[in-house]
Structure 1
Amino acid sequence: MKPADLVLTPTHIRFMNRRFACTIGRGGLTSRKSEGDGATPRGTHRIVGMLYRPDRMARPADWALPVTQTDLWSDDIKDPDYNMMVRAPHPYGHERLHRSDPMYDLVILTDWNWPYPVKGRGSAIFIHQWRGPGRPTAGCVAFRRDHLAWIARHIRYETRLVIV
Structure 2
Amino acid sequence: MTLRILAAFAVLVLAGCTTVGPKSDATAWRDARQMVLVTTADWDATTGTLRTFARDEAGAWREQGEAAPVSVGRGGSGWGIGLSPAQTSGPVKREGDGRAPAGVFAIGEAFGYSEHAGTALPYAQMQASSWCMDVVASPLYNRIVDAAQVGDAAVRGSSEPMRLDLHNGGDQRYRSGFVIEHNPDARKGAGSCIFAHLWKAPGAPTAGCTAMADTTMQRLYGWLRPDAKPVFVLLPQAEHDRLQAAWHLP
Give 5+ residue unaligned stretches, structure 1. none
TM-score by length of 2: 0.61
Given the alignment of the two structures, is residue 124 of structure 1 paired with residue 198 of structure 2, yes or no? Answer: no
Contact 1:79 1:92 (8 Å CA) reproduced: no
Given the alignment of the two structures, is residue 68 of structure 1 paired with residue 127 of structure 2, yes or no? Answer: yes
Identity rate, percent: 26
Given the alignment of the two structures, is residue 95 of structure 1 paired with residue 160 of structure 2, yes or no? Answer: yes
Write the deviation string for residues 119-159 of structure 1: whole angstroms up to 9, x where unpaired: 10000210000011221000100100121111111112211
Given the alignment of the two structures, is residue 51 of structure 1 paired with residue 111 of structure 2, yes or no? Answer: yes
- In structure 2, the residue matched to 1:105 is 175
State the one-letter code of the partner of 2:200. R
The correspondence for 1:82, drawn from 141, 157, 182, is 141
Larger proportion of helix? 2
Write the deviation string for residues 90-110 of structure 1: whole angstroms up to 9, x where unpaired: 234241001111100112001
Q: Report the CA distance between 1:60 and its aligned residue.
A: 2.3
Contact 1:110 1:126 (8 Å CA) reproduced: yes
State the one-letter code of the partner of 1:159. P
- In structure 2, the residue matched to 1:136 is 205
TM-score by length of 1: 0.91
State the one-letter code of the partner of 1:96. P
- In structure 1, the residue matched to 2:6 is none
Contact 2:119 2:224 (8 Å CA) reproduced: no
Contact 2:179 2:195 (8 Å CA) reproduced: yes
Q: Report the CA distance between 1:76 and its aligned residue.
A: 0.3
Q: Report the CA distance between 1:4 and its aligned residue.
A: 2.3
TM superposition outliers: structure 1 runs of 4+ over 6 Å: none
- In structure 2, the residue matched to 1:28 is 76
Contact 2:33 2:230 (8 Å CA) reproduced: no
Partner SS for 1:72:
strand
Contact 2:69 2:212 (8 Å CA) reproduced: yes
Moved more, 69-78 or 154-163: 154-163
RMSD of the TM alignment (CA)? 1.7
Give 5+ residue unaligned stretches, structure 2. 1-28, 41-47, 53-63, 80-91, 166-170, 236-250
Return closer, same or farther for 1:150/1:17 CA change in 2, 3 Å cut-off.
closer
Higher Rg: 2
